[in-house]
Structure 1
Amino acid sequence: MIKTPDILQSEEIERIEIELLLEAVFRYYGYDFRNYAFPFIQRRIRHRVCKENLTSISALQEKVLRDSVVMGELLSEFSINVTEMFRDPSFFNSFRTKVIPLVRDYPEIRIWHVGCSSGEEVYSMSILLHEEGIYDKTRMFATDINKGVLEKAKQGTFPLDRMQLFTKNYIEAGGKRAFSEYYKAVDDKVFFHPFLQKNV
């Protein structure tokens, strides 16, 4: 498709609006999305403009600067919450076999889970550290820009139908017990034992 001067002008205006929105978000709220992949940011912003029933990105910028709720919605658009228990089992297995022996004798261990989403990988690390006998001297920090998923992470509640996948990942990650020992199933949900949050 050949782009006409009108289309090129429209694309340039949209790019400028997106850059201004991201600059405003950074300057007013402190969140820096200015170097994110442009196609990703563009899609998420367009989606938010549509959800807010607005006609332009400039209109979204005005709402974002004047309404922190709208800003929260935009943050949710930008945060990708892809996670699962023992996601990438080979990483957890390597951590268990290669990192744990190096830190086992440390008096204190600190781990920071950046972008922890709804907490599945944090709970996974708690289980691994517990099985290796060093959980009590570990302090974990779990952060995410999306407050909604952080609240979900604090609950330690996950859908029962995910347990089959989570169990498979746990076994591949070198799990040493029955995975079901770490949670209690109630109806269609599972509740992970509170001791897994103790040092988070």
Structure 2
Amino acid sequence: MTSTSASPGLAFLQAASSAMPSTLGDRATIAAMNEALSFAIRCKMRFVKTDLLELLRLRRQTCVGVFRPDSEHFYSGACAAGGTFAGAWEKHFGLKPWIAPEVLEARSPDVLANNRVGPGLAVLIDSKVDEDLATFRGKQIWWCTSFDDSEMILCRYHCDPHDTPLVARGKPARRMTLNRSQWEKLFDTPVSTAP
């Protein structure tokens, strides 16, 4: 893909990489590239589904840091922000998105409706409330800890009455592994697919 045909998100990252002088050093360059991709994701810059192959050419790994555009960290950020990066990430890894009716980002009380789920994000589930486990708006909070195309692992955590339930702390108190059909049955209403 040439720079004239690159998507806006890819062009932004390529320009950021090219703009940094070699004298800047690995640590600063890697930090800047991580922040540039996070910024592009938060701003919902457009990425096309084939961009991850090009972005991987910008990957860096040294003793002082790493820049991996295919990291789950960026995928989870894209799930929370919306936009097109999550779709490009899924295409690269050959995954279908996991969609839930109500999703939470850590430390944010804003519920994301019919949203993708990735590691570090939580789903709200209607069920009986366990007094000592985290709840939000009368629903159980289950945090995604890992996933692949066939299974999603969700965990619940204890919540001290003086702490926010919007952060997973300590060891999981409950854990469940769900396949795709179990995932669909978990929610009262069918979940639409994300673009």
Superposed pair shares fold, TM > 0.5: no
Select the structure with the greater relative contact order (CA < 8 A; seq sep ≥ 6). 1
When you count strand as a share of all residues, which structure comes out higher?
2
Question: What TM-score comes out, normalization by structure 2 length?
Answer: 0.27
When you count helix as a share of all residues, which structure comes out higher?
1
Larger of the two Rg values belongs to structure: 1
Question: What TM-score comes out, normalization by structure 1 length?
Answer: 0.27
